[in-house]
Amino acid sequence: MERRDFLKVSVLTGATAALSGCEKPAHKLVRFIPEEDLVPSVATWKPSVCTLCPAGCGLMVRVLPGEAEVVRNGKPGRIQMGLAKKLEGNPNHPVNQGKLCARGQAGLQITYHPDRVGSPLKRCGPSGSGTRRSGLRRQSLLL
């Protein structure tokens, strides 16, 4: 195969692949939401700003009423409060104009994930031992 033929075939293949993505989709994607996650209440959308990167994109936060586990004076308990359930881009914001990156979409995991780091970790053993201290509790982490 000559170089010209190779380039012609490459350009033709690339153009075909690019144009095939421009057609109208045959079906829409349906998001699956388990029934146990549905809460019968009215959602409110509140504007905010994403602080996960220096861009400062505008957010719309979906807030639903719910119970949160809190620890006060060493005693665990539950209180009623508004909980953020979904982050979307704010269409009226000049920076992101309604779009939101993957880091912004995962912003709720930083707040609610049970394995998140809750306080600064301090070394309590020799360097390289893998033991860390978080707040008043001691725990061992594999790094």
Neighbours of 137 (CB within 10 A): 8
| Residue ranges of the chain that CATH labels 3.30.200.210 | 42-112
Q: Which of 53, 45, 56, 61 is nearest to 96 (CA)?
A: 56
- Encoded tokens for 116: 């998140």
pLDDT score of 125 more than 50: yes
User: Does the pLDDT at position 2 exceed 80?
Assistant: yes
* DSSP class per residue in the chain: --HHHHHHHHHHHHHHHHHHTTSPPSS-------GGG---S--EEEEEE--SSTT--EEEEEEEEEEEEEEETTEEEEEEEEEEEEEEE-TT-TTTTT---HHHHTHHHHHH-TTS--S-EEE-SSTTS-EEEETTEEEE---
By C-alpha distance, which of 139, 104, 109, 105 is closest to 122?
139
Q: Is the pLDDT of residue 34 over 70?
A: no
Average pLDDT, rounded, for the chain: 77
pTM comes to 0.53
Q: How confident is the model at residue 107 (pLDDT cuts 50, 70, 90)?
A: confident
| Strand order across the 58-72 sheet | 44-49, 58-72, 75-89
What would be the CATH architecture of the domain defined by 42-112?
A: 2-Layer Sandwich (3.30)
Question: Which of 16-25, 108-117, 124-133 shows the highest mean pLDDT?
Answer: 108-117
pLDDT tens for 60-102 read 988 888 887 888 888 888 888 888 888 999 999 998 888 888 8
